[in-house]
Structure 1
Amino acid sequence: MIIPKADRRVIFENLFKDGVLVAKKDFEIQHDTIDTKNLYVVKAMQSLTSKGFVKTQFSWQYYYYTLTDEGIEYLREFLGVPEGVVPTTLIEQKIPQRERPQRREGAPRRRYDNDEYRKRERA
């Protein structure tokens, strides 16, 4: 299928920026996040999948596309992106550490012994 160059470039830019892409299996609508036809998105991703640049997963009438390492190199060359730029899915994010609740000064630690455990009285 012939896809206009401008649409193909927009699709590839969005794929490279996020590293993933989602498309509904409906060829008559506009894509949700990209300003182009959904058919163009699905067919462009189908082409990249056949070349091994994208991994495809289909579930509940949605296509989920994930960029592979070879696909990152291909899109870098196609889009003219420098070597240091990577998709957001490959950027490590810091996980914030939770603060531990502080014990009150002088408060004894809770201790549960078997003496505190009460067995149920059986009748």
Structure 2
Amino acid sequence: MVAGMLMPLDQLRAIYEVLFREGVMVAKKDRRPRSLHPHVPGVTNLQVMRAMASLRARGLVRETFAWRHFYWYLTNEGIAHLRQYLHLPP
């Protein structure tokens, strides 16, 4: 469960893969359930915001908000956590 929201694991994994590959995630502040995220296929902005809120609460990403957009940056602890979660070599 991610920040009070049930989410299919394949969508959560897709979010984490994009975050790990890019090192940053951007999402427009649009909580409508049908607004899709432009960089993660098949995932809504709300799901991205909830997944990032979960990582932020654990100190794995830093959050910045400007002009109706959220920006999340991976920390060193976040990189280590995503490597373990995605089963990537060190």
TM-score by length of 1: 0.66
> Between Structure 1 and Structure 2, how many residues are aligned?
83
CA-to-aligned-CA distance 1:56-114 (integer Å, 9 cap, x gap): 0000000000000000000000000111xxxxxxxxxxxxxxxxxxxxxxxxxxxxxxx
Q: Which of the pair is proportionally richer in strand? A: 2
Shift of 1:3: 1.2
CA-based RMSD: 0.5
Q: Which residue of 2 aligns with 1:82?
A: 89
Q: In structure 1, what is the Cα distance between the partners aligned to 2:8 and 2:68? A: 25
Q: Identify the match of residue 54 of structure 1 among 34, 56, 61.
A: 61
Identity %: 43
Larger radius of gyration: 1
Write out the 4+ residue segments of structure 1 that deviate beyond 3 Å after TM superposition: none
Q: In structure 2, what is the Cα distance between the partners aligned to 1:37 and 1:2? A: 13
Q: RCO (CA 8 Å, sep 6+): is it higher in 1 or 2? A: 2
Structure 1 residue runs without a partner (length 5+): 84-123
Q: Which of the pair is proportionally richer in helix? A: 2
Residue identity matched to 1:16: F
